Structure 1
Amino acid sequence: MSTTSLLVVPRLAAGRLSALRLPPTVILSLAILAVVIAWSLAPGLFTAYDPARGIPAHKLLGPSAAHWFGTDHLGRDLYARIVHGTASSVTSALIAVGIGVLAGGLIGLLAGFLGGLVDTLLARLVDVLLAIPRFLLAIIIVTALGFDTVNTAIATGISAVAVFARVMRAEVIKTRQATFVEAAFLQGGSRWHVLWRHVLPNASRSVLALAVLQVGLSILVIAGLAFLGYGDPPPASDWGLLIATGKDYLKWPWLVYAPALVTVAAVLSLNRISRWLRRTD
């Protein structure tokens, strides 16, 4: 082996390692996301306070070592309420994205692969959904279903169907024209075999980054609906409901900025991770 070849191998290895190296902002976003997931899975490990019970003598205390985010108007520890409210906010967002991925992905998959009249009809349905503002559509649906966190998640998921359908349809159309898909047909593969074996795995790559982004957007929509009173009533501790309760006590601003900062940090972290996934795809 020549000297030039010996020098090229370490350079290629170093290039691959540098490609795997995560940017600091992505590492921070992953750390924040890990904390949020841990809060939602085991809130009791992070706080010993009961989120529903308070001490009246300790009401409206500022942030301190005993109460990291202060206390509310009933003497309840705000940090405990945020931690215990994470499960509801995160679970609702995951349900919403699951509905959007399944329903929207199926619509986009069939429209892009079958084409013709099926594509035209499904594309018009997607256009109708896209013409209605997402938040307004979610309010209409949750009003029809009833005020509840699960119904809020369903409404948010239905409002996201059109976004996933549009992206999936575009990816399927691009993948359907690839050489390996034509080769699969020439080898005798049936339409449905080619669809599930070749088109779907390759077309769904872009959906992953979109799904991560939509989790953050769903958290915002669900928090907004809870803020307006469309979610679970008190003493629930959804992030949007905590912000809505805190706005009545602006003299004690931590009641608003603590849950708001947690919500913003989670959403921005998911947004950053989604952007990183798109670049590495």
Structure 2
Amino acid sequence: MTLASTHSTSRITAIGRLTALRVPPVVALSFAIVALAIAWSLAPSLFTSYDPVNGVPAQKLLGPSAAHWFGTDHLGRDLYTRVVYGTASSVASALIAVVIGVFAGGLIGLLAGFFGGWVDTLFARLVDVLLAIPKFLLAVIVVTAIGFDTTNAAIATGVSAVALFARVMRSEVIKTRQATFVESSFLLGGSRWHILWRHVLPNASRSVLPLAVLQFGDSILVIASLAFLGYGDPPPASDWGLLISIGKDYLKWPWLVYAPAFVTIATVLSVNRISRWLRKTD
């Protein structure tokens, strides 16, 4: 093979890899929306100069305009500012819920799938109990038991997701445990814990990432629903669900509901689209 043909083959291979890694426009837009939400949560003051708590009574219930992109609420507060500052609570609480679900559910599924026997039976019964209760109802039960605020709503949402992660992790662990390289490690004298953490966990956790991303969007929706029902932080907090709940009392001024609802839906749909793309590219 000549040098020119080798160079040409390398170029074709590189182009093929770039094509395979090319992000579809819809996914790129989804990443942009999620990145904007994260930026809002990290540095809200960079995106608005209004006060999210104190408004101007003379400017109450103004429609969307260049000065107030989402209009103003019944106390004269800029609604766009309220949505931006409420992002931190919504995103952080969803992240807490995902972390709880991943670690608790992942640990249960890992141990149940790897050790089998009575360990699998015990954890399987626990997962069955959790799955028997509707997820949102379970979240309501937990947040009622531990108290009404956004952090507790996040914990409740994470608890409701434990069974889902446990079931997926258990399935992947059982599949990985039967792989040739795992059996070879056993035959070569590897300890159970070494094989569990060195071989099984890294390979079995691949399917958890897309699920965690999907659960992140679902957690935003569940926590917003809990806030809508009054299980989150009270006013003057500006969680997205709480803003929708307040806006429903002013139906003559529909932007009070449409603006936070649109931001919530756009964020959740974007996260779901990213999750589907990750599953296809895995």
Q: State the TM-score, normalizing by the size of structure 2.
A: 0.97
Equivalent position SS for 1:204: helix
1:124 shift after superposition = 1.3
Distance in 2 (CA, whole Å) between partners of 1:183 and 1:23 is 40
Aligned residues: 281
CA distance, structure 1, for counterparts of residue 226 and residue 7 of structure 2: 61
Name the amino acid aligned to 2:173.
V
Structure 1 letter corresponding to 2:121? T
> Which structure 2 residues correspond to residues 40-59 of structure 1 after superposition, within 5 A?
40-59=41-60
Q: Tell me what 2:71 maps to.
A: 70
Within-5 A mapping of 1:1-281: 1=1, 8-281=9-282
Query: Any stretches of 5+ residues in structure 2 without a counterpart?
Result: none
Question: Quick one: distance in 2 between partners of 1:23 and 1:61?
Answer: 38
C-alpha displacement at 1:20, in angstroms?
Answer: 1.3
Distance 1:5 1:66 in 2: 60
Q: For the residues of structure 1 that align with 2:6 and 2:102, how far apart are their CA atoms? A: 47
| RMSD between superposed Cα atoms in Å | 1.1
Letter paired with 2:23: L
* Offset of residue 10 of structure 1: 3.1
Q: CA deviation at 1:208?
A: 0.5
Q: Please give the alpha-carbon distance, in whole angstroms, between the structure 2 residues aligned to 1:113 and 1:256.
A: 48
Tell me the CA shift for residue 185 of structure 1.
1.2
2-structure distance, mates of 1:227, 1:26: 29
Partners of 1:71 and 1:7 lie apart in 2 by 60
Q: Report the Cα distance in structure 2 between the residues aligned to 1:88 and 1:6, rounded to whole angstroms.
A: 52
Counterpart AA for 1:61: L
Task: Report the Cα distance in structure 1 between the residues aligned to 2:147 and 2:125, rounded to whole angstroms.
Answer: 28
- Letter of the 1:196 partner, please give it: W
Q: Summarize deviations over 1:106-156 as a string: whole Å, max 9, x none.
A: 000000000011101111110110111000000011001111111101100
Shift of 1:186: 1.6
Query: 1:139-179, CA deviations, whole angstroms, 9 ceiling, x for partnerless residues?
Result: 01100111111110110000000000000000000000011
The CA distance in 1 between the partners of 2:77 and 2:11, in whole Å, is 58
1:11 CA drift (Å): 2.6
- Using the alignment, how far apart are the partners of 1:21 and 1:243 within structure 2? 37
Looking at structure 2, the residues matched to 23 and 269 of structure 1 have their Cα atoms a distance apart, in angstroms, of: 13
Runs of 5+ unmatched residues, structure 1: none
One-letter amino acid matched to 1:211: A
Q: Secondary structure at the match of 1:84?
A: helix
SS of residue matched to 1:267:
helix
Distance of 1:149 and 1:10 partners within structure 2 = 52
Q: For 1:250, what is the secondary structure of its paired residue? A: coil
- Paired amino acid for 1:264: I
TM-score, L = length of structure 1: 0.98
Rounded to whole Å, the distance in 1 between the matches of 2:34 and 2:110 is 30
Distance 1:142 1:97 in 2: 16
Structure 1 residues 108-117 or 184-193, which shifts more?
184-193
- Tell me, in whole angstroms, the C-alpha distance in 2 between the residues paired with 1:235 and 1:16: 50
Looking at structure 1, the residues matched to 153 and 18 of structure 2 have their Cα atoms a distance apart, in angstroms, of 43
